Amino acid sequence: MSLKTHARSKAIHIMLVYTGGCNGCDIEIVNAVLSPKFDMEQYGVFLTWNPREADILVVTGPVTHDNKEPLIDIYNAIPNPKLVVAAGACAVMGGVYKNCYGDIPSEEIEGPVENVIPVDAKVPGCAVRPQDVLAGVVAALPHLLNAD
């Protein structure tokens, strides 16, 4: 394993962006970091709120119309290599909000996160469990480690 890969696997900074979910996933993810029971830091995963520092963007929520542009801005602010993890049913496939009017497209929901920014890993669940978030981050990790 090269120095680059090893360093990347030892210190991972995640940033959380909430795009209009119901708060359930957001709090479970914050819980995964802040609660001593889950304590993500023991795996070398740190929570940051600065896009310039982040490696992995964790997105929750179905991306409401007003949140589309902020999400794109924050995604662009993260330096490469970067990963996006969509956490929760809403972020993965739109949840209960997608197709809620049948064939009529919804004005409020810009669709799942995939429609706005490229997604590397999807974590299902309503709401996601803290363990699953970590599993999702780990599942996406090879993309990050092998990037240039």
The total number of residues written for the chain in this structure: 148
Q: Which is nearer to another protein, 46 or 114 (CB)?
A: 46
Q: Is 34 in the site for another protein (CB under 8 A)?
A: yes
Q: Is 120 in the site for another protein (CB under 8 A)?
A: no
Q: Is 39 in the site for another protein (CB under 8 A)?
A: yes
3-state secondary structure of 115: helix
Nearest-approach distance from CB 134 to another protein, in angstroms = 14
Q: Is 136 in the site for another protein (CB under 8 A)?
A: no
Write out the binding residues for another protein, residues 95-114 only, by CB under 8 A: 95-97, 100-101, 106-109
| DSSP summary character for residue 74 | H
Contact 133, 123 (CB under 8 A): yes
Q: In what side-by-side order are the strands of the sheet with 83-87?
A: 45-48, 12-18, 56-60, 83-87, 121-123
Nearest-approach distance from CB 96 to another protein, in angstroms = 6
